């Protein structure tokens, strides 16, 4: 059983109207040792449990970064933020999850498919691949967003694209009607990727986002030749 660790919030910032970026540091010297791509569970309000993906690679002071959607569809996230603002501390347990880079050693190319704040663990995976592992394989990120302002990591991704020629990313807007000036790709991100890859070969895909997106992607991609072990996500799909 993973033991619980007490963490203090030392940074809390509304990055969009319904996404909060916050950073937690261990209150005592006990910290959660994790691999980029993994998630933790926040325990609050007498036993409520919220899974949260870690957005950064491990650092010396054990700081953990999180990005949390807290609109009306995410009531538990709203309760969590209310508790965090009141107590400024939270118990975390973990790490959990198997979406880690070592799963893709045999891949010729890494594809990352993110939906909304599903970008969170993928940011950590990319930091690990680009900055730690110095991976040189072709890497493509497809980030599905409903609203243009949801592209809150665009500047970081642009800087990586300039710095690392084998890394590229595309934003795919699923609600273009509200952005008449949008000139980029539109539609559901998994359908966009499926059009670009009518037949999968030895790519490995890291997929993270709303359950319905991950499920739809798994079904569509397996119909285009992607084997189960090439589709990496932390959602229980069956």
* Site residues (vs ligand FAD, CB under 6 A): 39, 51-53, 66-69, 74, 115-118, 120, 144-146, 174, 188-190, 209-210, 212-213, 216, 234-235
The residue whose Cβ lies closest to ligand FAD is: 116
Provide, rounded to whole angstroms, the least separation between the CB of residue 160 and ligand FAD.
20
Provide, rounded to whole angstroms, the least separation between the CB of residue 145 and ligand FAD.
5
Q: 62: which 2 tokens? A: 């054990």
Task: Compare residues 66 and 200 and give the one whose CB is closer to ligand FAD.
Answer: 66
Count of Cβ atoms closer than 10 Å to residue 165 Cβ: 9
User: Strand pairing partners for 6?
Assistant: 91
Task: Compare residues 16 and 164 and give the one whose CB is closer to ligand FAD.
Answer: 16
CA distances from 222 to 47, 143, 187, 233, 235 (A): 37, 20, 20, 14, 16
Count of Cβ atoms closer than 10 Å to residue 162 Cβ: 9
Provide, rounded to whole angstroms, the least separation between the CB of residue 175 and ligand FAD.
7
Provide, rounded to whole angstroms, the least separation between the CB of residue 139 and ligand FAD.
20
Q: How far is residue 192's CA from residue 203's CA, in Å, rounded to a whole number?
A: 16
Task: Compare residues 17 and 134 and give the one whose CB is closer to ligand FAD.
Answer: 17
Task: Compare residues 74 and 109 and give the one whose CB is closer to ligand FAD.
Answer: 74
Task: Compare residues 84 and 190 and give the one whose CB is closer to ligand FAD.
Answer: 190
Provide, rounded to whole angstroms, the least separation between the CB of residue 200 and ligand FAD.
18
Q: 184: which 2 tokens? A: 């980029």
Sheet holding 48-53, edge to edge: 48-53, 39-44, 89-96, 4-16, 19-26, 64-69
Task: Compare residues 6 and 237 and give the one whose CB is closer to ligand FAD.
Answer: 237
Q: What count of Cα atoms within 13 Å lies in the side-chain half-sphere of residue 142?
A: 24
Residue of 4, 122, 113 whose CA lies nearest to 53: 122
Provide, rounded to whole angstroms, the least separation between the CB of residue 188 and ligand FAD.
4
């Amino acid at each position: 059983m993973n033991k619980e660790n007490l963490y203090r919030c030392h940074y809390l910032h509304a990055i969009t109207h319904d996404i909060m970026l916050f950073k937690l540091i261990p209150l005592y010297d006990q910290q959660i040792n994790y691999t980029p791509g993994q998630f933790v569970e926040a325990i609050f309000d007498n036993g409520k449990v919220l899974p949260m993906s870690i957005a950064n690679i491990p650092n010396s002071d054990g700081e953990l970064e999180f990005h949390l959607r807290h609109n009306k569809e995410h009531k538990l996230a709203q309760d969590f933020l209310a508790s965090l603002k009141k107590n400024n501390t939270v118990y975390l347990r973990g790490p959990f999850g198997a979406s880690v880079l070592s799963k893709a050693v045999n891949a010729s190319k890494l594809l990352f498919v993110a939906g909304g704040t599903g970008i969170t663990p993928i940011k950590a995976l990319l930091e690990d691949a680009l900055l730690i592992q110095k991976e040189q394989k072709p890497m493509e990120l497809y980030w599905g967003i409903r609203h243009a302002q949801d592209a809150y990591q665009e500047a970081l991704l642009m800087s990586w694209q300039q710095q690392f020629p084998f890394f590229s990313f595309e934003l795919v807007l699923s609600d273009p009607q509200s952005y008449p000036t949008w000139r980029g790709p539109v539609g559901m991100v998994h359908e966009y990727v499926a059009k670009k890859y009518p037949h999968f070969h030895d790519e490995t895909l890291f997929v993270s986002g709303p359950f319905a997106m991950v499920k739809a992607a798994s079904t569509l991609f397996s119909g285009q030749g992607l084997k189960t072990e090439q589709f990496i996500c932390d959602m229980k799909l069956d």
